[in-house]
């Protein structure tokens, strides 16, 4: 074998390896759907858990379909004005053989690229599902998901990941490796709009007092958190968009250090405040640490990642109490995990960045740039649905439980599910 042939063989081997890595990462992000389903189903009441499970299988179906139809073209429009562009319907130039060789981007094929990005689109809408659980009409939620994933998520995503105006802001642009803002806060702002417009569950706030509505299956929620944690390895390390040994291993270390720090501080904080360790707080502490590190896992040190996760663990506990005081009913803590810590993690890039490329000011502008349009767009969609086909189930349906009223079935067939559970 001559020298030219050897170089080509090595190049092909590297391309194949990196393509396998991005496909595995896509699979890991996909399995996060199971994690979300288990977490949300476990944290709601038994009489609504089948409904939550249904939404968590419907959301990726909708998200992946809409991303194939037009989301990919909106999010990666090529040369555009930095605000709105459209590369066309479908999955790019799939008829071009170069889309399946190293000529595409040097690391993986067009289809692997699309598959990985489509999993992110499905994740953003899943965040909303838990926050509005137990009182939203199923068909109304599905319509919201279609519109939000098809239009809002890819358009605002193009501003950073698609080469839009935020990617060129300041000296080095706004930085969000895997979506503390672009996925988690984009979903979190929509969740906040939904919670405000829907109102709280019946019996949650009575005479100004907060009444706890306990989760029905903590072990199921725990399984879900472990699945999400596992999937996050692909979510973050896959976002290196290559199989570079240093980049991927660095991201995996910082990601996991933030997760364990979140567990520790959320547990300690809830123990101090409530006098007993709350299992759900520990679970959400893990997720909070993961959300927070997602923006800067590639540009912060291992020590800084632990600090970011530790602060996230404290924030998530405080946020749960804050939202309850504001009478914003979020059955699974999605606002505290994804919105609050999505914002924190994005700002943390400007505080702990070891490269010197990213500033707190630029990161703050990015947070606001997503907060305003995402909250406004989600509010308009929810209000439009509310004024036309209705957004919330009836009081009788809510008390009966959405499993029976929306699906005519029980999550635990043969067991009596009382209306006050």
**What domains appear along the chain, each with residue ranges and CATH number?**
9-407 (1.10.3430.10)
Both tokens of residue 266? 């959320």
Please give the Cα distance from 405 to 421 (Å, whole number).
Answer: 15
Q: What is the pLDDT of residue 130?
A: 94
What is the torsional sign of CA 20, 26, 28, 34? negative
Identify the CA nearest to 132 among candidates 147, 119, 144, 114.
144
Contact 110, 99 (CB under 8 A): yes
Q: What is the pLDDT of residue 160?
A: 97
**Looking at beta carbons, which pairs linking 65-71 to residues 24 or more positions away fall under 8 Å?**
66/121, 66/146, 66/149, 66/150, 67/114, 67/117, 67/118, 67/121, 67/122, 67/149, 67/154, 68/114, 68/118, 69/150, 70/150, 70/154, 71/118, 71/121, 71/149, 71/150, 71/153, 71/154
Q: What is the pLDDT of residue 4?
A: 46
Q: How many helices (DSSP H) and strands (DSSP E) are in the chain?
A: 16, 2
31-88 tens-digit pLDDT: 999 999 999 999 999 999 999 999 999 999 999 999 999 999 999 999 999 999 999 9
Within a 13 Å sphere around the CA of 304, how many CA atoms are in the beta-carbon half? Answer: 20
Identify the CA nearest to 186 among candidates 87, 71, 73.
71
Both tokens of residue 153? 């998520």
Q: What is the pLDDT of residue 413?
A: 81
DSSP 8-state class, residue 201: P
pTM of the model: 0.94
pLDDT tens-place values along the chain, 421 residues long: 444 454 455 588 899 999 999 999 999 999 999 999 999 999 999 999 999 999 999 999 999 999 999 999 999 999 999 999 999 999 999 999 999 999 999 999 999 999 999 999 988 879 999 999 999 999 999 999 999 999 999 999 999 999 999 999 988 999 999 999 999 999 999 999 999 999 999 999 998 899 999 999 999 999 999 999 999 999 999 999 999 999 999 999 999 999 999 999 999 999 999 999 999 999 999 999 999 999 999 999 999 999 999 999 999 999 999 999 999 999 999 999 999 999 999 999 999 999 999 999 999 999 999 999 999 999 999 999 999 999 999 999 999 999 999 999 999 987 655 444 4
Give the H or E element holding residue 210.
Answer: strand 209-210
């Amino acid at each position: 074998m001559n020298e030219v042939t050897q170089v080509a063989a090595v190049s092909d081997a590297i391309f194949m390896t990196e393509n396998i890595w991005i496909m595995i990462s896509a699979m890991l992000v996909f399995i996060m759907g199971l994690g979300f389903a288990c977490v949300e189903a476990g944290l709601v009441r038994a009489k609504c858990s089948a409904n939550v499970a249904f939404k968590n299988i419907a959301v990726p179906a909708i998200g992946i379909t809409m991303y194939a139809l037009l989301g990919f073209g909106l999010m990666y429009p090529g040369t555009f004005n930095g605000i709105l562009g459209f590369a066309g319907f479908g999955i790019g130039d799939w008829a071009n053989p170069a889309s399946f060789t190293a000529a595409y981007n040097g690391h993986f094929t067009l289809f692997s690229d699309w598959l990985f990005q489509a999993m992110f689109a499905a994740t953003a809408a899943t965040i909303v599902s838990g926050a509005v659980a137990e009182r939203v009409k199923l068909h109304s939620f599905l319509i919201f998901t279609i519109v939000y994933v098809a239009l809002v998520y890819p358009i605002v995503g193009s501003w950073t990941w698609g080469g839009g105006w935020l990617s060129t802001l300041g000296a080095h642009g706004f930085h969000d490796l895997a979506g503390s803002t672009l996925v988690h806060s984009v979903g979190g702002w929509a969740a906040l709009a939904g919670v405000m417009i829907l109102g709280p569950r019946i019996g949650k706030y009575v005479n100004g007092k907060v009444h706890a509505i306990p989760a029905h299956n903590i072990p199921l929620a725990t399984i879900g958190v472990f699945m999400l944690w596992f999937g996050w390895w692909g979510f973050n390390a896959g976002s290196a968009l290559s199989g570079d040994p240093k980049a991927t291993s660095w991201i995996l270390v910082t990601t996991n250090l933030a997760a364990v720090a979140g567990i520790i501080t959320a547990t300690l904080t809830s123990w101090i405040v409530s006098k007993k360790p709350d299992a759900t707080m520990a679970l959400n502490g893990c997720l909070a640490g993961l959300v927070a590190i997602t923006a800067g896992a590639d540009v912060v040190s291992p020590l800084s990642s632990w600090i970011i996760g530790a602060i996230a663990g404290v924030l998530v506990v405080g946020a749960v109490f804050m939202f309850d005081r504001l009478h914003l009913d979020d059955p699974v803590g999605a606002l505290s995990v994804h919105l609050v810590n999505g914002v924190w993690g994005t700002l943390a890039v400007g505080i702990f960045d070891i490269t010197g490329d990213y500033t707190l000011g630029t990161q703050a502008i990015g947070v606001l740039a997503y907060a305003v349009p995402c909250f406004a767009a989600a509010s308009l969609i929810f209000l439009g649905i509310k004024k036309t086909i209705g957004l919330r189930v009836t009081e009788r349906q809510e008390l009966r439980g959405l499993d029976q009223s929306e699906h005519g079935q029980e999550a635990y067939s043969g067991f009596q599910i009382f209306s006050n559970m």
